[in-house]
Structure 1
């Protein structure tokens, strides 16, 4: 376990340093949480495409309910990150995150919740119920997150994630809330300076294993296998995301060359708009670059002609898509 955590911590540290070294980390802060929102929602069978999600982040015209729900996930993540360092992570933090994800605040559940096959009504797990029991368990969980310990932060995150999902304190939104709490725990432990590493894609790719190992802890106390799985998820996700950051950096360098040719100068503000908002509007360029609408339109059309942008009409709005960046983000 020690060897596994050392390797994962090393990969995580290299990713954190790489992300912080970017000239414009806002590119990652805008894009990667959206992809996490998409993946985390997909685990709960709330499915939206990358194009739908990035379009909805710019204009609500035609936004699907799934896209709106995924965007609330991103809002919940940022709200939680703003609290890191200001106050301890607790069950109250989780309740605020869940309320933002769901769009309303139901608080902690009062009755039982069904986890199993909805068709056959066969249960696979029965979480604890009763207000006193839930309160005691959540207090214990909050204390575990904040008590001094010799446990490696990755091990503590793995244990805390199991415990939160086992308590299952909300009628809905437990999985998504728990996955946001994971990255907040990494930030709180100062292993990450920006909330940019997410395990949802790893969980989707190993979904059967994820649920098998959760049940293994419940049924047999198989903690080591579960913790190894989570630690490996951190390691592999850090390596994958570091690679994505390198490719995003390459896209920015190539786009800068085209902007210099089309616009006649290395317009940093225009480059920032197109990287921070892979789906951009003319008004975004006007506001950021301080130019007239005809000038912004001329620039964007020139970049479409150069085939680094593609245009898409959504209602009365025309969006300009950073094609190479979106190819990297789609992975």
Structure 2
């Protein structure tokens, strides 16, 4: 394969039999086992919307970090509404989470992942609708300045994306395990590079939505971007090795390992969230007459909440919302923290589960 030519149609370029090697088959068993367990554990939480909110925002943060869009957990959790002030990075992360939700809704409604869905996802990411790029994509160069890859020219993009759409949705076109197909789809999308901006983040959303489409997941809670952040150099080198040396097997093994690792971590995270949620339900219900499922949903959708959020979610007055939150803080279930002119109430155990760190203390 020429490294300067457009990416070929996958179904013609790569045979499914190529991935029936002992190494790939062994890794497929392990990755699928962890993924199936993740799906089951996620289904054990009655309100899966909590997981979509919490884990979706985490995936958004990690995926954006790959593109050097960096924000802190503290900023992200306290500025978790589209109209919130905050840094440009925090806003871009929220846009990613919104784009993931749009794509998830489309896949659930249609059972497909189409080119139009991908356009909608990218538009939500970028907050604009430029469509496919009309100019040549940026060439990739190595450390010596040598061109190692040139994305396909704009006039080829509609046909290439149409081919990719068929590859995604027509199971008979390429009869392989969906995890193998996901790896191939991701590489093909990254090589087509159809947009001016947001290609990497769009491609990572496509990964998890494809697994939802294939019913390997019920909700988009596989947190692949975390594994890519940890192995960023390997990610880019293996992408390029396919273009230069046709090293598809190594690329597939890399992606399968990422699925296995992040699914295992996701299982632990969800189990910890479930245990904490049940503990809070029992403790609040035993002591406070204002217990409700809406309150629990609010406290576990994000680690930070505030009076306005309780007002909105529980349909209560500001005075009542303040009384509820102060009572929970007095019991040690939340920690009250003043930030500027606002009081935030932090679910510290949930923050630790999601981030592995303690939330900041003190005023800002």
Choose the corresponding residue for 1:125, options 145, 149, 163: 149
Residue 20 (1) aligns with residue 32 (2): no
Residue 108 (1) aligns with residue 132 (2): yes
Measure how far apart 1:11 and its partner are.
0.8
After TM superposition, the score normalised by the length of structure 2 is 0.84
Question: Structure 2: how far apart are the matches of 1:288 and 1:61?
Answer: 17
Question: Structure 2: how far apart are the matches of 1:28 and 1:266?
Answer: 21
Q: How many residues align?
A: 330
Measure how far apart 1:123 and its partner are.
4.5
5+ residue gaps, structure 1, are none
Choose the corresponding residue for 1:206, options 231, 236, 245: 231
Measure how far apart 1:130 and its partner are.
3.5
Measure how far apart 1:95 and its partner are.
1.6
Q: Counterpart of 1:79?
A: 102
Question: Structure 2: how far apart are the matches of 1:61 and 1:137?
Answer: 38
In structure 1, the residue corresponding to 2:110 is in which secondary structure? coil
Question: Structure 2: how far apart are the matches of 1:87 and 1:256?
Answer: 35
Choose the corresponding residue for 1:139, options 157, 162, 167: 162
Structure 1, 318-327 or 133-142: larger mean CA deviation: 133-142
Question: Structure 2: how far apart are the matches of 1:118 and 1:46?
Answer: 23
Q: 1:23-71: per-residue Cα shift (whole Å, max 9, x none)?
A: 2222211111101111111000011111211222147443111111111
After TM superposition, the score normalised by the length of structure 1 is 0.92
Question: Structure 2: how far apart are the matches of 1:246 and 1:212?
Answer: 34
Q: Counterpart of 1:294?
A: 319
Q: 1:125-148: per-residue Cα shift (whole Å, max 9, x none)?
A: 3211131x2222222211211222
CA distance 1:292–1:171, shift in 2 (3 Å)? closer
CA distance 1:274–1:114, shift in 2 (3 Å)? same
Q: Counterpart of 2:26?
A: 3
Question: Structure 2: how far apart are the matches of 1:180 and 1:9?
Answer: 19
Choose the corresponding residue for 1:274, options 288, 295, 299: 299
In structure 2, the residue corresponding to 1:214 is in which secondary structure? helix
CA distance 1:75–1:289, shift in 2 (3 Å)? closer
5+ residue gaps, structure 2, are 1-23, 357-364
Measure how far apart 1:4 and its partner are.
1.4
Residue 68 (1) aligns with residue 88 (2): no
Structure 1, 148-157 or 297-306: larger mean CA deviation: 297-306
CA distance 1:53–1:302, shift in 2 (3 Å)? same
Q: Counterpart of 2:4?
A: none
CA distance 1:253–1:130, shift in 2 (3 Å)? closer
Residue 36 (1) aligns with residue 83 (2): no
Alignment of 1:165-244 (within 5 A): 165-244=190-269
Q: Counterpart of 2:123?
A: 99
CA distance 1:288–1:134, shift in 2 (3 Å)? closer
Measure how far apart 1:316 and its partner are.
3.9
Question: Structure 2: how far apart are the matches of 1:228 and 1:292?
Answer: 54
Q: 8 Å contact 2:59–2:223 — kept in the other structure? A: yes
Choose the corresponding residue for 2:75, options 52, 69, 76: 52
